[in-house]
A and B are shown apart, each in its own frame.
Chain A
């Protein structure tokens, strides 16, 4: 069990690059589901592995052993590494729990602040008199499109329809839940950070494709996104803002525009076998994680039963 339990913990080393590779050629919607699914799955399984590791150590404590009616010397797998590993696992679980709660609270605070800025619930469109071109989807019941006058004036009527269709796709698809889940997953396993940027990109591409379908014009959709980004970049206030980690990674907006202008959903089309490789790798990762986790849990369970059984004999 002490060996099997490390596989779910180290799996992101393998699964994160594979998921990123797979997301690069999967259609946006499938890419978003894959990335979010693996974020949640890997975070859950690594947390479960930590819990197993922590419990294996805890059972050596006389107090816990007495409570569980088992005899610690009869627990198998008495390697010297177990105790330090268990202590580290407990610390990691505690740190994860604290950041998980803090991040969850911050997300809620952020959403509340955005809602407080748009109290007029009567309309789908919430316009802010602000020259800074800016737009986003505000989830809720019903969801709203928040947009500044600067953004509305930077676009013509057809381009505004693209913007609205894009934001409606975010709202309809509940895309904020994907982003929220991926951010929370990182609090449980820091190595999952690498999935957030491709997920955000996949969600934008998903909404872009929805907008292209709704307006029936890919070139128009590409132009609207490009012009909105250029308008936002041309505003002094936008330049003065600090560069975000998300925006710094190799320009998502030009990539979105390129993807819309090229006819296919993906830009490069590698050979079929090459495209399949990351997906096969991902499936192997998922199977390995589930398998080792089950094995570790089964081992611990067996150890406990043996120790309990032996403990009862002397009576």
Chain B
């Protein structure tokens, strides 16, 4: 397991930890972060990453019992984000050089995707895709 952590660059682990903090509604202790990650990281590794993120000012922390609970540092980005969206949307129909994770779905795409995912996870929600609208 220690080898596993060795193989992943520190920056990638920081991204995972930071994402876990942002995805949570409440501040998380190192133990909670450790449990909410996809990888099996040692508790000490998680603590090290959190300390590093705190030193950079990316996260803030409060006393929680014997240790700390961490949450992402909220700054003035909310407004910038809105402005950025407006900027990107404006250029959308002309094509952008920023590749987005997922493009938009048509309603047929959405039905097809739901059927695919249900089939893939064994949800057995067998939707006959023979042109029937169904839902």
Bound complex: CA A162 to CA B87 (Å)? 27
Per-residue CB contact flags for chain B residues 43-77 toward chain A (1 = under 8 Å, else 0) read: 00000000001001110000000000000101001
A203 touches which of B23, B99, B121 (Cβ 8 Å):
B99
Contact A251 B97 (CB under 8 A): no
Complex Cα distance, B117 from A207, in Å, reads: 20
**Selected contact of A148 from candidates B12, B58, B81, CB within 8 Å:** B81
Q: Contacts A152-B23, A161-B38 given; indicate if A251 touches B106 (C-beta within 8 A).
A: yes
B99 engages A147 (CB within 8 Å): no
Interface residue B78 (Cβ < 8 Å from any Cβ of A):
yes
Given contacts A123-B18, A152-B19, A183-B97, contact A225 B120 (CB under 8 A): no
- Counting chain B CB atoms within 10 Å of each CB, which of A151, A203, A207, A244 scores highest? A244
Contacts of A106 in B (CB 8 A): 91, 94
Q: Are A147 and B19 neighbours in the complex by a CB distance under 8 Å?
A: yes
B58 and A226 form a contact (CB under 8 A): no
Instruction: State whether B97 touches A157 (Cβ < 8 A).
Output: no
Partner of B97, one of A111, A160, A161, A258: A111
Q: Which residue of B lies closest to A110 (CB)?
A: B91
**Contact bitstring A128-166, B, C-beta under 8 A = 1, else 0:** 111010111110000001011101110111101101101
User: Is A261 a contact of B116 with CB atoms below 8 Å?
Assistant: yes
Of the candidates A119, A164, A253, the one whose C-beta lies within 8 Å of that of B15 is A164
CB-defined contacts of B23 to chain A, threshold 8 Å: 149, 152-153, 155, 157, 160
The residue in chain A whose Cβ has the minimal distance to the Cβ of B16 is A161
Interface string of A230-257 (1 = CB under 8 A from B): 1011000010011111111001111001
A-B contact count (CB 8 A): 208
Asked whether, in the complex, the Cβ of B98 is within 8 Å of the Cβ of A136, the reply is: yes
- B101–A167 contact, CB under 8 A? yes
Of the 9-residue stretches A59-67, A172-180, A275-283, which lies at the interface with chain B? Answer: A172-180
Query: Which of B89, B93, B98 is in CB contact (< 8 Å) with A114?
Result: B98
B95 near A183: Cβ-Cβ < 8 Å: yes
A227 interface hit (Cβ, 8 Å): yes
* Known A124-B11, A130-B82; contact A253-B19, beta-carbon cutoff 8 A: no
**A247 and B106: CB pair below 8 A?**
yes
| A189 interface residue per 8 A CB criterion | no
- Alpha-carbon gap, A207 to B12, bound state (A): 16
Which residues of chain A come closer than 8 Å to B105, judged between CB atoms? 229-230, 232-233, 247, 251, 253
CB distance from B116 to the nearest CB of A (A): 5
Query: What are 25 A-B contacts defined by CB distance under 8 Å?
Result: A110-B97, A111-B97, A120-B58, A122-B56, A123-B14, A123-B15, A125-B19, A135-B102, A153-B23, A155-B23, A160-B23, A179-B97, A183-B95, A196-B95, A223-B117, A223-B120, A229-B105, A230-B114, A232-B102, A232-B105, A233-B104, A233-B110, A252-B103, A257-B113, A257-B117
Additional A-B contact list (20), CB under 8 Å, known A152-B19, A157-B16, A157-B36 = A110-B87, A113-B88, A114-B98, A123-B15, A125-B15, A128-B80, A130-B81, A134-B85, A136-B100, A138-B98, A152-B22, A183-B95, A196-B95, A200-B99, A207-B99, A232-B105, A241-B92, A246-B103, A253-B105, A253-B113
6 cross-chain pairs, A with B, having the tightest CB-CB distances, nearest first: A117-B84, A128-B81, A251-B109, A229-B102, A125-B15, A247-B104
